[in-house]
Amino acid sequence: MKQSFYLAGAFVGVIVGAGFGSGQEIMQFFTNFGFYSIPAILLATVLFSFIAMQLSQLGAHMQATSHKEIIEVLCGRLLGQTLDIILSFFLFGVGVIMIAGAGSIVEQQFGIPAIWGSLFMTVITILTMLLKVEKIITIISSITPFLLVIMIVVSGYALYKNGITPIDIEQNVDLDKAAASNWFMSAMLYVSFNVAVGFSMLSVISGTFKNKKQAAIGGILGGILLGVLMMLINAGMMTDMANMQIVEMPTLFLANHISPLVGNILSIILLAMIYNTCVGMFYSFTVRIIPQGRFFPASVVVVGAIGFGLSFAGFTVLVNTVYPIMGYVGFILLAAICWSWIKTKHHAPEINQIDNRKNLEDKEKNIV
């Protein structure tokens, strides 16, 4: 069971970055729909749990070492290779958003120009990528429980102090600022986007599991934990929707209303989560494009510099543009995982097909 909690925490650690922890993602995809954000979050939670469970089981069975082999099994070789390339560049886009998010936090919380916060995050990310990142990512992922605790405090205080007024919420519903035209599609987009974000890391982590049941439980727990965090952030922001729609970092706005100290604590936690995600995204992209070798250090610097330059588009603009677009790409993965589950239930198990393919390849290698 301990391993299941480890997988759940790691999954959440990958998903939770600047956009999630700051409340900007939840605002764009859920809170802007008012009370309809509640069924949207419930739908997203169920889908997160289901997809994470399926992917974790498949990764554990295949003993996956990267996302590429699982994508090719789910989508076929040609489509799988195409999605592999798209996902790699998508990881780069998320890394850019993390850099922009670091700048926004530093500017809103400490009054330091955003460029310095973004530059600091870029530099430490580049330095970390030149080292072994596995241990660092593992350490930073332990920040997730602290985020959960502080969000309980922040949202709980906001609900106690302000409450939720139906009239105010209805007056401040702004579908023009929402990520999609309706709450159902917005929830689907959000899940598909995050499936794309978490796909690679979850594939590798679940590949270390020997017990498929433990891996599946970890996936379910990860989805539930994400749902709890989404509901907490959404509830807190619904207490003051008018202000939430005009600030870059809604959760920081709420935290500072409790105390500057609480705001500073949340800022540090958010920066740590951003650092974790930023390193993971940029490293995954760089090592996928330029394998480890003589040119890798120079490539790391170039990728970091380009990411820093693109971050000037602004945190909110990037979230509202990149996430929905890439969410549609994630729909392909979402559909492929669901289709694999249907085939497993009603036809010859996909897992057996994988085994037969691997056994055949092994026999051909032995013959040669």
Q: What is the mean pLDDT of residues 286-290?
A: 76
pLDDT digits (tens, 9 = 90+) for 61-101: 888 766 777 888 888 878 888 888 888 778 888 888 888 88
Q: Does residue 300 or residue 138 have the better pLDDT?
A: 300
- Average pLDDT for 195-220: 82
What is this structure's pTM?
Answer: 0.78
The answer for residues whose C-beta is within 8 angstroms of residue 262's C-beta and 6 or more apart is 150, 153, 154, 255, 256
Task: Count the Cβ atoms, other than its own, within 10 Å of residue 10.
Answer: 23
What is 22-43 written as a DSSP string? Answer: HSHHHHHHTGGGGGGHHHHHHH
- Lowest mean pLDDT: which of 33-42, 126-135, 178-187? 126-135
| Cα(14)–Cα(281) distance, integer angstroms | 9
Weakest mean pLDDT among 42-46, 270-274, 304-308: 270-274
31 neighbors 242 (Cβ within 8 angstroms): no
Domain range summary for the chain, segments of one domain joined by +: 2-367
Q: Give the CATH superfamily of 2-367.
A: Hydantoin permease (1.10.4160.10)
Q: What average pLDDT does the structure give for the chain?
A: 80
Report the pLDDT value the prediction gives residue 39, as an integer from 0 to 100: 94
**Residue 21 token pair:** 């922890």
Is residue 216 scored above 50 in pLDDT? Answer: yes
Element at 145 (helix H, strand E): helix 144-161
The arithmetic mean of pLDDT across residues 11-19, rounded, is 73
Tell me which of 46-50, 98-102, 142-146, 317-321 is least confident. 317-321
Model pLDDT for residues 232-247, shown as the tens digit of each residue = 988 888 888 777 777 7
pLDDT score, position 120: 93
Distance CA 34, CA 235 (A): 10
Least confident of 85-89, 145-149, 347-351, 356-360: 347-351
What does the angle CA 192 – CA 1 – CA 284 come to, to the nearest 5 degrees? 40
253: enclosing H helix or E strand: helix 250-258
Residue 351 pLDDT more than 80?
no
